[in-house]
């Protein structure tokens, strides 16, 4: 039985030469696509810079180039010959790749030939003539729309009544916008608006704080006055109660002194009433009680 790695017999094994070759081809294809994308980005950036330069030149006061539609109706390279048309159609349908042109080094020659055909198509009697191009431009819908708009604008400008109505409408619209517009609505006055609102908020907070402090002071004053009244009332009540107690004590003291003196005079040895008289009084009292019974 033979040895070795059995996975090498699998078609998906990465160490096989055909799989490595396939990976290498895909990597090369990705690199070529990346190169094309980089070239396209570079061309787009150059076009953008050129457009910016033209805009700067136009703003400075130079001659502004008019964007025309002649290139839409110019004869292309596919109209020169049937072979060239079939070849370009194959490129568009994806039957042929541009990589072959790059590898053969014939791209520049084809592009130069195509450009010559484009510029020579105007003078070619079989191609579109200058009059046909102008006729197609005049029949273009966008051109007709622009022409109609220009005619309408010209008629409005030439009519003074219409211009006056337009000016009055603009004046009314501006006045409405001015009335609806908030004060300091511009971006330059945003800081001043913010500072004014902040000052207003600070003043309102200060007023509310002062009013709360004033209310608290009034409440404290009322509480102090009520407390003083309660203390005075309680002091007065205590004084009245103490006065009543003193009178009660004084009254009880006088009664007790009277009874004490009477008891002493009645039962003490120094009493002026003798024993016989006391017995007689006792006997009379007992007889009176027995009669009542």
Q: What is the pLDDT of residues 241-252, one digit of tens each?
A: 888 888 887 777
Confidence of residue 8 (pLDDT cuts 50, 70, 90): confident
Whose tokens are 């895909």? That residue is 26
Q: What pTM does this model have?
A: 0.24
Provide the H-helix boundaries in 78-140: 82-93, 98-104, 107-120, 130-138
> What DSSP character marks residue 13?
-
pLDDT in tens, 129-176: 667 777 777 777 887 888 888 888 888 888 888 888 888 888 888 777
> What confidence tens digit (pLDDT) does each residue in 79-136 have?
445 556 677 667 666 666 656 655 555 555 555 555 555 445 544 544 456 677 777 7
Instruction: Tell the residue number behind the tokens 């008891």, with chain if given.
Output: 263
- The dihedral of CA 94, 100, 102, 105: what is its sign? negative
Q: What percent of the chain has pLDDT over 90?
A: 8
- In whole angstroms, give the CA distance from residue 151 to residue 171: 25
* pLDDT (tens digit per residue) in 182-223: 554 455 556 666 777 778 888 888 888 888 888 888 888 888
């Amino acid at each position: 039985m033979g040895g070795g790695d059995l996975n090498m017999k699998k078609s998906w094994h990465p160490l096989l030469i055909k799989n490595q070759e396939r990976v290498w081809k895909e990597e090369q294809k990705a690199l070529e696509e990346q190169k094309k994308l980089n070239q396209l980005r570079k061309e787009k950036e150059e076009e953008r810079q050129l457009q910016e330069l033209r805009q700067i030149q136009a703003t400075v006061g130079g001659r502004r180039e008019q964007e025309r539609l002649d290139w839409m109706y110019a004869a292309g390279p596919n109209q020169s010959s049937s072979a060239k048309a079939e070849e370009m159609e194959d490129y568009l349908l994806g039957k042929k790749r541009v990589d072959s042109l790059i590898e053969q080094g014939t791209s520049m020659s084809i592009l130069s030939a195509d450009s010559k055909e484009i510029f020579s198509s105007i003078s070619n009697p079989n191609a579109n003539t200058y009059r046909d191009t102008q006729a197609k431009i005049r029949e273009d819908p966008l051109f007709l729309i622009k022409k109609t708009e220009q005619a309408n604008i010209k008629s409005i400008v030439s009519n003074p009544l219409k211009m006056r109505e337009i000016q009055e409408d603009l004046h009314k619209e501006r006045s409405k916008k001015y009335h609806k517009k908030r004060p300091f609505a511009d971006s330059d006055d945003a800081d001043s608006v913010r500072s004014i609102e902040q000052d207003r908020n600070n003043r309102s907070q200060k007023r509310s704080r002062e009013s709360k402090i004033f209310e608290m002071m009034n409440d404290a004053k009322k509480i102090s006055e009520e407390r003083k009244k309660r203390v005075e009332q309680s002091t007065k009540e205590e004084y009245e109660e103490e006065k009543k107690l003193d009178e009660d004590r004084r009254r009880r003291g006088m009664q007790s002194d009277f009874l004490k003196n009477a008891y002493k005079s009645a039962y003490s040895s120094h009493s002026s009433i003798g024993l016989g008289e006391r017995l007689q009084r006792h006997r009379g009292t007992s007889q009176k009680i027995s009669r009542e019974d």
